[in-house]
Structure 1
Amino acid sequence: MERTERQRPNHPPNRSFAPSESSGSSTSTSRRNYSNRSRNSDYNYAKYNNTNSNRNFEHDSSDWRGKRSSAGKMYIQKLETKDDSDSSHFDLPPVIVGTCPFMCPEAERAQRERLRDLAIFERLHGNPGKTSPGLAVKKFCRTMSAKNDQALDVRPLPVLENTLKYVLSFLDSKEHPFEVIHDFVFDRTRSIRQDLSIQNIVNEKAVNMYEEMVRFHTISHQKLLNGDSSSNASSMHHLNMQQLSKTLITLLNLYEVNRSNGAIFENEAEFHSFYVLLHLGSNSQTTGESLTLWFRTLRSPVIKSKEMCFARRILRYFRMCNYKGFLCTIGAEASNLQYCILEPYVNEVRALALSFINNGGYKLNPYPLVDLSMLLMMEESEVESFCQACGLATCGDELGNKSLPTKQTTFSSPKGVFQRYNFLKKI
């Protein structure tokens, strides 16, 4: 103890860094632990008080997640994937306030002209080395942070709103394949989110912008699955799903940040239902438990909304293999955006229904395709093609009525992506 006090002359003499019952070796260990705690404390202080740190609010979500956990409002972010570009600090002041008046900063525009790094939509008269302020849109930069960028490189909210409107207008274009359009819009909307994040813009206008970007990723989810089946399209779909999950989770938290007087936003219930529907494809028990906990965080107006009731019924029917309830509920209640998420599972459930009918039917009583069309909610002309895709043969009688012989042993659920079949809603 005398040795300890000599090393720390300014320390009160009656305070010890080790319990009095400890041996000499324990005293050394205690000093090491104290030193480690000090270093950790210094590190944490520096981490959360460094004004030059990246304040992007979409990636490093530990701050707001802890804050909401203490308030009993923690969202379970099972769908969120790590990305080096995004972080989450709703409660921190903005590091920078953008002053760039154009959709693309002048310095970046000039550099990309020199490098001929212009998307087809940004080229002036088709020239890959020439653009203009009305065409060029700022690209996403993974290394962008408040430490490295100046105000002139960041677009303020009004410019970001106009940029988003301009970028999303390309979705109606018929001149280029959707994959080309998606590649451009995907990158530029990500850059918009980055500028919102670095300025810590979390107001109602940011909510509206995030809703539009979630819509874009949701529609892309459907179109990329129904488009080219190449490996490039598959990769694009995977990346789109990642950003759909990240953008949606940020949107759900923006709803909470802008909550006032207990009211809910006009589209809030529907966007919450997307989070549930995106869990359909997971067989992980952990995901199911996380979703159960997530339900407990929802406010009563949201959980009781027709959109959330629909999503919960769909989830229950899917996990119980209730194909009739699943298909009929979609046909009666699904919105267009909800169907964009659900469409990949519709044919999966149809194949399950076909398997039950084939295995459970009577061999001497073929199942009429007209009845199968009503059950599977498909055009009768497409039912035969669907049966053949599942390895089942059909037959016809002398009157031209087609039916499905049951008890066939050749049934197999198609591998990979199904051909797209129309969804016939009951009138």
Structure 2
Amino acid sequence: MFHTVSASGFYVMERWQPPRGRRGRGRGSYSSSSSSRSNDSRPSKASNYATTTSKTTSLGSFGINNKQHNNDVESLPNLIGTCPFMCPVDERVQRERLRDLAIFERLEGNPTKSSSTLAVKKFCRTISTKDIRDVDMRPVHVLEDTLNYLLTIFESGKHPFEVVHDFIFDRTRSIRQDLSMQSITSGDQAVHMFERIIEFHIVSHYKLRRNTTDSNVSPMHHLNLEQLTKALASLYHLYDENRKSNPGYANEPKFYSFYVLLHLGSDHQPTGESLSLWFRTLPYSIAKSKEMMFSRRLLRYFRFGNYKRFLHTTEAEASRLQYYIIEPYVSEIRATGLSCLNYGGYKQHPYPLSDLSKHLFLDESDVESFCKDCGLETFTSDTGTKFMPTKQTSFCHPKGSRKHYPLVSKRLKPFYDEVPYRI
């Protein structure tokens, strides 16, 4: 019996297993980082953490409080991991033989040689319940050490970000998989690991979007966002599971606010009713927290097109991680503001670009370029002042523009720093 990705898209009861029979089957028994991600959307059976949802992985359909029961998952043996290494020995030996070692796992750069201090267990899509072994599962303290090691690589900045992300993306999925297969839902350790993994995905969400050269960034960005939503739903399940022993984690409001901010944007905006129902399930302390109130106000401003309050509130209150989620929608709300100023102005009184810069929190040197992205013309007066004529009928919301226009703010400026964010 095999378990693969659930229809809800949340957790995958799978692990690496040594190949049997022909070499070709052996190569298919575990997944590479890229191949495992490219097939994320294929349906399969639910895992333990999949009880937190009954819908698809689209941002508007988490179904956080809907629970499922899966007899196949309940029939899995009670696993307690005994592997003392970041990667089981059998997997490491097999991957050495197949030359399947990431650049970070190679001993002195040798693609056929690794070690217990370099190799990290890969995420795998297929597993047979009769072949599950405790020795292939890592206990919690080993998983913590593994995550610490991965995040050290993430923060080092010694390799191209896409290469680093590809490696950690796969290996953190494997950590989540080991937690799921061992049904580890109680205690602070699992909660803190999920929180750190989610931070990794949020930082990646920001940095992958900022990349303007690699044509593969778009699908990578999509897959990263997909795993972010899955990890968030699993974290909320862990919060609920531990609520009796721990009435509230310090970071709970912050991580719940991320869910709301992920609903920004007209491209995947969910229905107001579904999000309203979700709000009603939240504990009172979380619903009234400053993080949640900030997120709800921002969502309201965005949906009503109140660009002034959206930009002012973001500039004044957004945390680093909140801003990393918000930033993709800044250009969209700016375009809404530019549309209002264009259609609402007097034809005989064009707008100085310096005023537009202040209204839109946009660097004055970028205003002219942004106007062109929106199909609007500008002109320079005899005195050298640049203006945007109003009542132009050529306005359009920019689509597919890869130019980055940061939010002008002294407070937010450190967030743009390319030095890796420490998790």
Q: TM range, normalised to the smaller chain?
A: 0.7 to 0.9
Q: CA deviation at 1:168?
A: 1.3
Q: CA deviation at 1:246?
A: 0.4
Asked if structure 2 preserves the Cα contact closer than 8 Å seen for 1:359 and 1:407, the reply is yes
Q: CA deviation at 1:409?
A: 2.6
Structure 1: unaligned runs, 5 residues or longer: 1-53, 67-75, 82-86
Q: CA deviation at 1:209?
A: 0.3
User: Judging changes above 3 Å, is the alpha-carbon distance between structure 1 residues 219 and 272 closer, same or farther for their aligned structure 2 residues?
Assistant: same
Residue 332, structure 1, aligned to residue 316, structure 2:
yes
Give 2:108's aligned amino acid.
Answer: H
Secondary structure of the equivalent of 2:105?
Answer: coil
Q: CA deviation at 1:225?
A: 1.2
Residue 389, structure 1, aligned to residue 383, structure 2:
no
Give 1:351's aligned amino acid.
Answer: A
1:132-147 → structure 2 map (5 Å cutoff):
132-144=115-127, 147=130
Cα deviations by residue, 1:125-154 (Å, 9 ceiling, x for unpaired)? 111111111110000011136542211111
1:170-189 → structure 2 map (5 Å cutoff):
170-189=153-172
- 1:165 is aligned to 148
Cα deviations by residue, 1:217-257 (Å, 9 ceiling, x for unpaired)? 11111111111465421111111111000000110111111
Residues matched between the structures, number: 357
Q: CA deviation at 1:57?
A: 2.1
- 1:255 is aligned to 239
- 2:85 is aligned to 102
RMSD value, Cα: 2.7
- 2:230 is aligned to 246
Greater shift, 267-276 or 405-414, is seen at 405-414
Give 2:240's aligned amino acid.
Answer: E
Which of 35, 42, 57 is 2:48 aligned to? Answer: 57
1:62-141 → structure 2 map (5 Å cutoff):
78-79=61-62, 95-141=78-124
Cα deviations by residue, 1:368-402 (Å, 9 ceiling, x for unpaired)? 11211111011111112211222222222344322
Sequence identity (%): 56
User: Judging changes above 3 Å, is the alpha-carbon distance between structure 1 residues 410 and 259 closer, same or farther for their aligned structure 2 residues?
Assistant: same
Residue 304, structure 1, aligned to residue 295, structure 2:
no
Which whole-Å CA distance do the structure 1 matches of 2:84 and 2:407 have between them?
A: 46
User: Judging changes above 3 Å, is the alpha-carbon distance between structure 1 residues 271 and 94 closer, same or farther for their aligned structure 2 residues?
Assistant: farther
Asked if structure 1 preserves the Cα contact closer than 8 Å seen for 2:263 and 2:269, the reply is no
1:154-233 → structure 2 map (5 Å cutoff):
154-202=137-185, 203-228=187-212, 230-233=214-217
Which whole-Å CA distance do the structure 2 matches of 1:377 and 1:365 have between them?
A: 21
Which of 361, 364, 367 is 2:351 aligned to? Answer: 367
Give 1:234's aligned amino acid.
Answer: S
Which whole-Å CA distance do the structure 2 matches of 1:147 and 1:421 have between them?
A: 54
Give 1:272's aligned amino acid.
Answer: Y
Asked if structure 2 preserves the Cα contact closer than 8 Å seen for 1:55 and 1:88, the reply is no
User: Judging changes above 3 Å, is the alpha-carbon distance between structure 1 residues 312 and 164 closer, same or farther for their aligned structure 2 residues?
Assistant: same
Which whole-Å CA distance do the structure 2 matches of 1:332 and 1:208 have between them?
A: 28
User: Judging changes above 3 Å, is the alpha-carbon distance between structure 1 residues 309 and 372 closer, same or farther for their aligned structure 2 residues?
Assistant: same
Which whole-Å CA distance do the structure 2 matches of 1:242 and 1:383 have between them?
A: 33
Q: CA deviation at 1:176?
A: 2.1
Give 2:209's aligned amino acid.
Answer: L
- 2:249 is aligned to 265
Q: CA deviation at 1:113?
A: 0.3
Secondary structure of the equivalent of 1:234?
Answer: helix
Which whole-Å CA distance do the structure 1 matches of 2:356 and 2:225 have between them?
A: 33
Q: Which has the higher contact order (CA 8 A, sep 6+)?
A: 2
Secondary structure of the equivalent of 2:328?
Answer: helix
In the superposition, the TM-score normalised over structure 2's length comes to 0.78
Cα deviations by residue, 1:24-63 (Å, 9 ceiling, x for unpaired)? xxxxxxxxxxxxxxxxxxxxxxxxxxxxxx994223x2xx
Give 1:124's aligned amino acid.
Answer: L
User: Judging changes above 3 Å, is the alpha-carbon distance between structure 1 residues 77 and 205 closer, same or farther for their aligned structure 2 residues?
Assistant: farther
Give 1:114's aligned amino acid.
Answer: R
Larger Rg: 1
Asked if structure 2 preserves the Cα contact closer than 8 Å seen for 1:218 and 1:244, the reply is yes
Which whole-Å CA distance do the structure 2 matches of 1:201 and 1:122 have between them?
A: 27
